[in-house]
Structure 1
Amino acid sequence: MSTDKKTLLLVDGSSYLYRAFHAMPDLRADPGDPASPATGAIRGMVNMMQKLRKDVRADYAVCVFDAKGPTFRDALYPDYKAQRSPMPDDLRSQVAPIHEVVRLLGWKVLDVPGVEADDVIGTLACMASKQSIEVIISSGDKDLSQLVDEHITVIDTMNDRRRDLAGVEAEFGVPPRLMVDYQTLVGDAVDNVPGVPKVGPKTAVKWLLEYGSLDALVARADEIKGVVGENLRQTLDWLPRGRELLTIKKDCELVDYIDGLPAMESIAMGPQQTEALKGFYQKYGFKGLVRQIEIESTPPELISAPEGRPAQPKAKVADTSSPGLFDEPAPADTPPLAERTTNLRYDTVLSWELFDTWLAKIEAADLVALDTETTSLDEMLAQIVGLSFSVQPGAAAYIPLTHDYPDAPEQLPRNEVLARLKPWLENPAKSKLGQHVKYDRHVFANHGIEVQGYAHDTMLQSYVLEVTKPHGLASLAERHVGRSGINYEDLCGKGAHQIKFNQVDIAKAAEYSCEDSDQTLDVHRVLWPQVQANEKLRFIYDLEMQSSEALYRIERNGVLIDAPMLATQSHELGQRIVQLEAEAYEIAGQPFNLGSPKQLGEIFFDKLGMPVIKKTPSGARSTDEEVLEKLAEDYPLPAKLLEHRSLSKLKGTYTDKLAQLALPRTGRVHTHYAQAVAVTGRLSSNDPNLQNIPVRTPEGRRVREAFVAPGGSVIASADYSQIELRIMAHLSGDEALLRAFTDGLDVHKATAAEVFSVDLAQVSSEQRRYAKVINFGLIYGMSSFGLARNLGIETRAAAAYIDKYFQRYPGVKNYMEQTVVFAQDNHFVETVFGRRLYLAEINGGNGPRKKAAERQAINAPMQGTAADLIKLSMVKVQQVLDAEKRATKMIMQVHDELVFEVPEAEVEWLRTEIPRLMAGVAELKVPLLAEIGVGPNWEQAH
């Protein structure tokens, strides 16, 4: 035997699977089908096993589960565990898949009939301990403490508890050798094993320390005084059986389950079965785990320095966050792919001679349309399968690089092709055109190439010119140049049978990719003159192109995530959610489905007599969010449900998923910022969505604590102060509002002074609160009814406040009225910088929709101008960071806020320079103000 110290890691699988089941949300293999198989426990189990394997180095590893059927304890005591509820059906259905995936993760899996998991663990632990092998048992079960010795330690990872010799004694008051005696005295309510009546932990510890053991205590039972002494004596006949029930077996017969006992080779920690795991994850809908495998299998040479990021793919996508941005399906009358004919001049480059010919063409061209074909929609993972170029209408070339299918022709080596293209790709003087170029920049960066010279992006041209229309290439080509093309699903299929692009026949792939580059060039020739013709739109387009560059940098940087902190938050949220369910059941007087409107209606209105607030279009009694909020003012059950929904959403959307979305090599998440989505110019964020983290609750704010800085750095947040109110002052030109900002007053206090006709110094906190609601409410077009509801006052009083506001700020009222008239005449409004915001229903006949369009007309210029300003700031700040070669990184853009990762040496520079830069990107009639906060995490930086 080797002299090296070996370790056996034993996992209490039954404890794990219950924890996983209760900690995870109700995940389904098909999220859209509630009847599809439950997968939450499986997903939680994978998380826990992966983390444990990472945290504990082990030579041998076994995960032990309880087997089906009775054990020897049931024969010994028929009431053993009689009070336990049966395993939930949704958990029972996941047990077999859990066994399967744990094996695929490299663990030996055991479930031995006739005994419990604890007994198998006890047998293996003692066997290894006798061989001086270090044993670590991972479980939350305190019963396993009786196994602890100088070689055996129990760890409870969920509660960060370590039970070694000292730990057991510190926790229970007795050493491990007395744990069975201790348990026998106090009993085990969970397993329905009685102890001595009225004897709790303190009495049990006192007796055992005084008498030395249970046997010694029993021998001198007559000495124990009082009621507890009498109880002890009346229990003497039971205690031997109780001890036998609670004693973990250490001699289970395992030869039929483990080969070669007592040798340990058959339970050595095995490698993960990557391909089988990938198939398993795909079967159960675990996209994040599939993504993790793809990352881990990425060849090192595809990782770009200094990002340390793996390479990845693409299937014709413009901006993956919006349904309107995917290539659209071909029209129904489009002939099958095989029947299409074309006179276009498309080359497939399979020789160095033809490669050199096309390299000369692109180097000589004034503008080249460039497109990548890749292996993934995830820009941080995508690897290049092939490239296409177009330099003039109707002429394009495709360079296949990694197509892999039977009889595929020999292709030029990818690394050499990219190396020869790199000087042109990285030359800023060589103008390039693309469709959603930010994605392609990431793809090339995955291969160590930082593309320079992207002059145009047809997706952004469309976004600036026609914000409300789809911006996918297929839609653009059909709309502007009358061309239809090959659909991605024509090539790759769809659903479970879809193949990857590297499996597509090269001839078909060449036609598809060349067509994309060719159509991109065609579309550009139509859209670009329209952008050039309007000075304001040209400014907005230039801003969008510069923002694309800055966002690429932010996405590439990513933000560091504290995964253990999120795991703790998830666990705590899970416990609170379970508690809320129990409290809801108690209030209702019965268990029920918290997500069933029908059951809620029966309990609310029939059983508990709550008033019906409103009905659904079908006539049913509504229990939607608005109704719950109203009822929660007077009834506890709706309040419990609202909290349950809020915490479940927080857990499912953020604390459970953020760490899964982090790239394993860096521990960072890399959100995708979609530019061509919101009509106001605001960005949207997804995978993960950083814009919607709730910050009005303590639990929501805690999520931001998990966004952290590495050692030696801090997180800084730079946020525009009251930006939309400042923009309102600029747009309206109202003298009182301008004066408040110019004089540096508290604008809400100033508004309160005007509305309530009091001196500024006399404004109360309640008056300021009212004024704040009025200020922000009116810029969103809030009615007197809406204001009354927000303030909790009568509608008549709210209307009076609005009238008084407009009397004091007549410029604001005038701006609102004129803006609506302008929108009705022109069907759009503009931001301060000329971004057009179209309002299709501003002249519609439908009353509520027309009113909504009028409110949007008032607010959109403010919201859009705020979006323009934060983009201007983002661009300017990145330019300065680059010019001064600062180590500070922009890592997030959220609403009116820029977030930075800052080395401690640059904090003072940032505190001074970033507010100055942000305040100086534009001159309005009022000063812009940006405020800085610094802290170890995002939450503390506010």
Structure 2
Amino acid sequence: MAKLILIDGSSYLYRAFHALPPLTNSHGEPTGALFGVVNMLRATLKARPEYVAFVSDAPGPTFRNELYDQYKANRPPMPDDLRAQVEPMLAIVGALGFPILRVGGVEADDVIGTLTEQAHAQGIEVEISTGDKDLAQLVRPGVTLVNTMTNTTTDDAGVMDKFGVHPAQIVDFLSLTGDSIDNVPGVPKCGPKTAAKWLAEYGTLDNLIANADKIGGKIGESLRAALPQLPLSRELVQIKLDVPLDATVDQLQLRDRHVDQLRELYTRYDFKAALKDLDADTGGATVGAHPVRDTGGATSGNLAETASRPQAALPQEDRPGQDLAMAGQYELVTTQAQFEDWLAKIATAPLVSFDTETTSIDSMQADIVGLSLSVEPGHACYVPLAHDYPGAPAQLSREQVLATLKPFFEDASRPKMGQHAKYDINILSNYGIHLRGLQHDSMLESYVWNATATRHDMDSLARKYLGVETIKYEQVAGKGAKQIPFSQVDLDTACRYAAEDADITLRLHHALWPKLESEPSLRSVYQNIEVPLIPVLASMEQCGVLIDVNELRMQSQQLGKRMLELQQEAWKGAGRQFNLDSPKQLQAILFDELGLSAKLKTPTGQPSTNEEALEAIADDHALPRLILDYRGLAKLRSTYTDKLAEMVNPRTGRVHTSYHQGSVATGRVSSSDPNLQNIPIRTEEGRRIRQAFVAPEGWVVLAADYSQIELRIMAHLSGDEGLVKAFKEGGDVHRATAAEVFGLKPEEVSANQRRAAKAINFGLMYGMSAFGLARQLGVDRGEASDYMARYFARYPGVHAFMESTRQQAHRDGYVETLFGRRLYLENLQSRNQALRAGAERAAVNAPMQGTAADIIKRAMLAVHDWLQPRDDAHMLMQVHDELVFEVRQDVIDDVRAGVVERMSGAAELSVPLLVEAGVGKNWDEAH
């Protein structure tokens, strides 16, 4: 029988770290955990399994953190000495030929569980190499656990001997005992023996819960008190068996070793026994993984050949049509002759990939340290320009290199590409270079192909679409307080890292562009919306927005004064002083001292004091509302009135946000530093923040906003006659809807009826249920259901559209915008009813949100092109469905008319696209 060995890499690393002394190599680098892992893996290699995978936790939170924000909260951070060994471990594992699997959003256990399920279904024997007790739930005939440190094997009988329960009961067992390391709540005072005893008697957790009243004594009281959180505990400890993976079992075959890379790694970390075995196996081959080759007598011009990166197995649909995982050949360019050679290459190349290395991630304040170029996959160069460490070799002049490249960068007929090229456009603009001819961006190729398949950073894309593990920045510059600027990284190391960026970017294009070419609608979104938008967003970022710092300081003072007043009122309402920022103290006052009834509870069964919980009891006592008001003001102050003043760029005197194209699945542009999308609009204090966004002397702020755009898109997509008619007549659509639903004339509609119609109009687009509508309107569920029934009776086209969209989503796995953008939806086939229902709601809403995103992007393109020749108006911000400009006062009427015309014409719908535009001295006045 074929065998699959699944190595729990995270377990290996931690166990080796704690089991072995703190070893170091001759350079002082920690190696203890690495040494243990290597020895365990070498033992695995001797078994020569048919299939094998090294599974490790990916960085970042998982779905369990979303289920329970205290999950693993008690676990101390990874020790620095251990963290430093993670990347070397992965490098050695890959060089040994092991397929490496790291999947974001889940844990290594979930990946192991999924592969175990697949292999077992195919009749493949599974051996899980681990010391993790949670994995005992996977044991069954043909599936065993092996502890390589104790050399013990655990099968079905072994699980029973160790835990006192069968493998099928392990999930229930762990739910009852909890896990202090992972902070999974169990039943207090319930140890392994009690849990095993209960499960022996009642069989399952569900049966135990049903008979909880029969358990006597203090332990019975503990069980009954813990009942509300036991389902959560079970969900936290249960291993997923259906994780979407980039590899199937039959692709997990041991690959040939990368001997040169292993020799370099073993030598660096002083693994003499492993090195001796390697030499014995290979007969003692070449020296070094990065050989220096003669480049025509230029002693400083080294050609670095990178070892082929550990390659992950790719599903068929992600495999490129050519070998794009080859070893890279990278040239360090430090002489004029080399530079001229590369100038000749880019002059004739059909497409040039480029990347910049800088001093900061803030493109408005960064300086260039060097740049890389690639003209064919697997080949690239790095031109260092400002590396300044002691003993750094001579480099070409930054001013002369950039001046020489300026005609190339500014020639629109010379095709260029980048990965997140907007950043590089901004960097070059700092040196007076205005990039033209940008044809491709690998980040956006991936984003348009499938926005939710992966993150769209280069490392993630290389792993998914090329099967390549790239060099990480921390590997060349260090981490944390010990991290050095890139300008201090030695040139050979910098070349391998920087040239790889340009090379991988070009390889990604060769992998992704054929996919887009095969789908005309996606290609159109990419070529006609996303790529042309890059320079538009870059221009907006460079322009920035003028901030009235004095106004912000005054607002901060006023917010602080009001917060003190609220604190005093809260203390008075509570009858004593307490810390308003302490949930524990607030919990004691609200529910113990004031005796309020908790409407919501935390996963551990405690009364919740989050925003939703306080809103639920705000009518029962004055204190919850005071706390909510206090929290709202505190957030405004810390996020905006205090912070914005600190974000003014000293070079420009303005605040420069960063816009992100590849972060929101629906196609919306987001922003950060500052996040303009989250500035509140519904409160007076929130609106006042917009008063600090001002225009220069002699200029005004123009704000142009689409009116009810998603509802208009719903009318167009559904083709509902009643809704289309309401918009075409140009009246109050919410009043018209209320008249339809309540059988009244428009003039007879009351304010409450219009409010109900508005809630239905917008709520249905977001999949609001009768329960949600009832809560929003303050009516009972039956009345809300009646409203919705009447609405669908009056607007049958809307109901038909929603149903057909759900069906299409289930059939295709995605829905589309009016312009062909695809919006893939996870969880449509989930066995969890809540997740499945959420995905169906998203399916209905996504075409509206996505089409709205496409429309405002098309509007930005049209407005930008129109304003290009002018210097009397600048597009500054895009916030939701609104564009904000600063305009010279004497041309405001002309600019306002031109902006409204182009925004209204950004799409042809069956209903008018209404744009409302206002003018003022600041953003608040104009809005």
In structure 2, which of residues 806, 810, 813 is the aligned counterpart of residue 827 of structure 1? Answer: 813
State the Cα RMSD in Å. 1.9
- Structure 2 residue 755 is the aligned partner of structure 1 residue 769: yes
Q: Deviations over 1:802-842 (max 9, x none)?
A: 00000000000111111111101111111111111111111
| Deviations 1:238-294 (CA, angstroms, capped at 9, x unpaired) | xxxxxxxxxxxxxxxxxxxxxxxxxxxxxxxxxxxxxxxxxxxxxxxxxxxxxxxxx
- Structure 1 counterpart of 2:474, one-letter code: E
Letter of the structure 2 residue corresponding to residue 898 of structure 1 = L
> Aligned partners of 2:868, 2:432: CA distance in 1, in Å?
19
Match of 1:654 in 2: 640
Normalization by structure 1: what TM-score?
A: 0.64
Query: 1:398 and 2:385 equivalent?
Result: no
**Residue identity opposite 1:897 in structure 2:** E
| Structure 1 residue 666 corresponds to structure 2 residue 652 | yes
Query: Offset of 1:638 from its aligned partner?
Result: 0.7
What's 2:423 paired with? 439
1:934 to 900, 914, 919: 919
Inter-partner Cα distance in structure 2 for 1:345 and 1:616: 55
Q: Are the equivalent residues in 1 in contact too, given 2:598–2:617 (CA < 8 A)?
A: no
What are the equivalent positions in structure 2 for 1:307-346 lying under 5 Å apart? 340-341=289-290, 342=306, 344-346=328-330
Q: How does 1:64-213 map to 2 (within 5 A)?
A: none
* Equivalent of residue 581 in structure 2, options 583, 595, 599: 595
Are 2:870 and 1:881 aligned? no
Report the alpha carbon displacement of residue 555 of structure 1 after superposing the two structures with TM.
0.7
Is the contact between residue 713 and residue 851 of structure 2 (CA under 8 Å) also seen in structure 1? yes
Give the Å deviation of 1:596: 2.0
Counterpart of 1:509, as a letter, is: A
Query: Which residue does 1:524 correspond to in 2?
Result: 509
**Counterpart for residue 347 of structure 1:** 331
List, as ranges, runs of 4+ consecutive aligned residues in structure 1 with deviation greater than 3 Å: 331-344
Residue identity in the other structure for 2:522? L
Which residue in 2 is equivalent to 1:450? 434
Aligned-partner Cα distance in 1 for 2:850–2:366:
33
Residue 586 (1) aligns with residue 565 (2) = no
Structure with max Cα Rg:
1
Report what 2:846 is aligned to: 860
In structure 2, C-alpha distance between the alignment counterparts of 1:433 and 1:382, rounded to whole Å: 21
What's 1:380 paired with?
364
Q: Distance in 2 between matches of 1:472 and 1:865?
A: 25
Residues 755-794 of structure 1: matches in 2 within 5 Å?
A: 755-794=741-780
2:587 and 2:739 mapped to 1: Cα distance?
46
From 490, 493, 507, the counterpart of 2:478? 493
User: Residue type matched to 1:718 in 2?
Assistant: A
Question: Aligned to 2:723, what secondary structure does the other structure show?
Answer: helix
- Residue equivalent to 2:342: 358
Aligned partner of 2:669 in structure 1 is: 683
Shift of 1:616: 1.4
Q: CA deviation at 1:478?
A: 2.2
- Matches of 1:766 and 1:840, distance apart in 2: 37
Question: Displacement of 1:512 after TM fit?
Answer: 1.1
**Helix, strand or coil at the partner of 1:729:** helix
Deviation of 1:340 after TM superposition, in Å, equals: 4.1
State how far apart, in whole Å, the 2-side matches of 1:609 and 1:359 are: 77
1:700 alignment partner in structure 2: 686
The counterpart of 2:449, out of the listed 465, 473, 477, is 465
Of 770, 795, 801, the match for 1:815: 801
SS at the partner of 2:703?
Answer: strand
Work out the CA distance in 1 between the residues paired with 2:665 and 2:399: 41
How far does the alpha carbon of each residue in 1:728-767 deviate from its partner, in whole angstroms, 9 at most, with x for none? 0011110000111112121101101001100122222222
Counterpart for residue 563 of structure 2: 577
Whole-Å separation in 2 of the counterparts to 1:897 and 1:837: 23
Aligned residue number for residue 319 of structure 1: none
Residue 904 of structure 1 aligns with which residue?
A: 889
Number of residue-to-residue matches in the alignment: 615
Find the aligned partners of 1:727 and 1:609 in 2 and give their Cα distance: 48
Is residue 620 of structure 1 aligned with residue 618 of structure 2?
Answer: no
Of 910, 913, 917, 1:925 maps to 910
Q: Deviations over 1:514-559 (max 9, x none)?
A: 1111111111011111111111101111211111111111111111
> Does residue 1:566 correspond to 2:591, yes or no?
no
Instruction: Please name the residue that 1:412 is paired with.
Output: 396
Give the distance between the partners of 2:523 and 2:729, measured in 1 at CA: 35
* Counterpart in the other structure of 1:40: none
Q: Contact conserved, 2:596 with 2:620, CA < 8 A, in 1?
A: no
CA–CA distance in 2 between the matches of 1:393 and 1:776? 49
Relative to structure 1, the CA distance from residue 346 to residue 665 in structure 2 (aligned partners, 3 Å threshold; closer, same or farther) is closer
Matches within 5 A, 1:705-720: 705-720=691-706
- For residues 525 and 387 of structure 1, what CA distance do their matches in structure 2 show? 21
1:667 deviation in Å? 2.5
Task: Report the Cα offset of residue 874 of structure 1.
Answer: 0.4
1:484, distance to aligned residue in structure 2 (A): 2.1
Aligned residue for 1:369, secondary structure, equals strand
Q: Which residue of 2 aligns with 1:231?
A: none
Q: What's the counterpart of residue 550 of structure 1? A: 536
Mapped to 2, the partners of 1:480 and 1:610 lie a distance apart of 55
Q: Residues of 2 paired with 1:638 and 1:506: CA distance?
A: 60
Q: Tell me the residue number matched to 1:848.
A: 834
User: Contact between 2:741 and 2:790, CA under 8 Å: does it hold in 1?
Assistant: yes
How far apart, CA to CA, are the structure 2 residues paired with 1:481 and 1:777? 42
- SS at structure 2 position matched to 1:669: coil
- What CA distance in whole angstroms lies between the structure 2 residues aligned with 1:478 and 1:766? 55
CA contact (8 A) 2:359 2:366 kept: yes
Counterpart amino acid of residue 401 in structure 2: V
**How far did 1:345 drift?**
2.9
Deviation string, structure 1 residues 890-920 (Cα, Å, up to 9, x no partner): 0000000000000012211122111111111
Q: What amino acid does structure 2 have at the position aligned with 1:934?
A: V
Matched, 1:534 2:519: yes
Following superposition, the deviation at residue 466 of structure 1 comes to 1.7
In structure 2, the residue matched to 1:423 is 407
Instruction: Please point out which of 715, 719, 734 is paired with 2:720.
Output: 734
Distance in 2 (CA, whole Å) between partners of 1:440 and 1:720 is: 32
Residues 780 and 344 of structure 1: CA distance in aligned 2, closer, same or farther (over 3 Å): closer
What is the CA–CA distance in structure 1 between the aligned matches of 2:615 and 2:468, rounded to whole Å? 52
SS for the counterpart of 2:570 is: helix
Q: Deviation per CA, 1:326-349: give whole Å up to 9, x if none.
A: xxxxx9998677764436432111
Amino acid at match of 2:410: E
AA aligned to 1:363 is A
Paired letter, 1:528: W
* Cα displacement string for residues 383-436 of structure 1 (whole angstroms, at most 9, x for unaligned residues): 110111111122211110000111100111111111111111111111111100
1:93-126 deviation digits (Å, cap 9, x = unpaired) = xxxxxxxxxxxxxxxxxxxxxxxxxxxxxxxxxx
1:474 pairs, out of 456, 459, 462, with 459
1:505 alignment partner in structure 2: 490
Letter in 1 for 2:565: Q
Separation (CA, whole Å) in 1 of partners of 2:612 and 2:906? 41
Q: Which residue of 2 aligns with 1:61?
A: none
The alpha-carbon deviation at position 592 of structure 1 amounts to 1.3
State the shift of 1:496 in Å.
Answer: 0.4
How many Å separate the matches in 1 of 2:598 and 2:338? Answer: 75
Q: CA shift at 1:602, angstroms?
A: 1.1
Structure 1: give runs of 5+ residues left out of the alignment: 1-31, 36-330
